[in-house]
Amino acid sequence: MNKLSHPRLYYFENFRALAILLIVFAHCYYGWDRNLSYEKLISNAIDGGTILFVFISGFFLHRVFYRRGIVYKDFIRKKFVAVGVPFIVMSFLYMFLFWVVTGDVPTHHTFEEYSMSEVVLLNFLTGRHLAAYWYIPFILIIFLLTPIFYSFIKLKPSYQIWITSILLVCASFFWRPIYGINPIHSVLYFAPFYFLGIIYSLNETKFIYFLTKYKVVLFFLWLLSLLLMLNFGQIGNANKINPFSYEGVDLMVLQKSIMIFLIIALMYNYANQRISFLSLIADYSFPVFFIHGWVILLSNSLFDIESHNFIEVSLNFGCVFFVSLLLGVVARRVLGRNSRYFVGA
């Protein structure tokens, strides 16, 4: 059987597992100064994992929903149930428990001037109240824009490449929104990677032939992009308030673009092979996403964890991820199908 005709895309399953690992890892940096050059290189390799998630989402928009002819209304309903409902439930639960314990709701410092009810609304609109939750308001906007992406799929390949390339260049100047509090700004930054995922799905065979042939070259290009970030002093993601103000170039866009294709080139060796541990992580990627912020807050409050070097950061990450994964497994066992309303699909 041809690898590309295999009904289960195991290499994308592994890709998704790696993406959630990087996302959680990046949220376990508390106390890590990253003063040494190798620490900066490692952190830059880890940061920006959300870009991988967006690329994967764009890939599956075409591969699953477009190919199956799923209409817009049904697509939005499925996505809202998968990510919108657990976001609302978990956010409400977190804010309620926070209020019970402290008498207030979790308030980002940029919202301090607002009333409690306004802060609650802003928390739902921005997802700024808990680690990684900002992603949900952003991705829901992306889903609402699906007719635009469906129209993009129908364009000539040359037009698709030009549009995506221009948007990637623009993203490197837009940067990410500071504190992740502006979902529209996030759309401007991340949408090009959604387009890129669509292009990859449309041309998978051609990409695979090229990427697997030149994966060594891809590795050195990726390493060069990391060194370029180090040379220009960029540590981690570049964030700013106004996407249209010029403050330099975000090299994370280049680095993660190369990293996406490097991962594909490496993971395709297992296109027809299920790697049990990675498959488990991929299967629980949404529960881990919704739970890990809670685990980080709990561990920080109980143990006053500060990770001063990469070994401590890694140990902290390992504990956070294992506990998050375990809680995800328990949630599914206890709640059954209803777990999707709490911790995602």
Does residue 315 carry a pLDDT above 50?
yes
Does this model's pTM top 0.95? no
Question: Angle CA(22)–CA(49)–CA(306) in degrees, nearest 5?
Answer: 50
How many of the other CB atoms lie within 10 Å of CB of 194? Answer: 24
* pLDDT the model gives residue 7: 44
The residues with which 177 forms a beta bridge, in sequence order, are 240
* pLDDT the model gives residue 270: 76
Q: What is the band of 241 on the pLDDT scale with cuts at 50, 70, 90? A: very high
* pLDDT the model gives residue 110: 83
* pLDDT the model gives residue 1: 35
Give residues with Cβ within 8 angstroms of 86, minimum separation 6: 286, 290, 340, 341, 342, 343, 344
Does residue 308 carry a pLDDT above 90?
no
Q: Mean pLDDT score of the chain, rounded to an integer?
A: 92
Find tokens 């992603």 and name the residue: 135
Q: Supply 249's token pair.
A: 């170039």
CA dist., res. 197 & res. 55, Å (int): 5
Does residue 113 carry a pLDDT above 90?
no
Does residue 89 carry a pLDDT above 50?
yes
Q: Supply 287's token pair.
A: 């529960």
* pLDDT the model gives residue 182: 95
Per-residue pLDDT tens digits for 175-191: 999 988 999 999 999 99
* pLDDT the model gives residue 332: 92
Q: How many CA atoms lie within 13 A of 37 on its CB side?
A: 7
Residues 163-167: what's their mean pLDDT? 98
Does residue 30 carry a pLDDT above 90?
no
Does residue 88 carry a pLDDT above 50?
yes
Amino acid at 147: P
Q: How many CA atoms lie within 13 A of 278 on its CB side?
A: 17
* pLDDT the model gives residue 209: 92
Does residue 163 carry a pLDDT above 80?
yes
Instruction: Considering only residues 10 and 87, tell me which one the structure prediction assigns the higher pLDDT.
Output: 87
Residues 227-249: what's their mean pLDDT? 95
Q: What is the band of 3 on the pLDDT scale with cuts at 50, 70, 90? A: very low
Q: What is the band of 345 on the pLDDT scale with cuts at 50, 70, 90? A: low
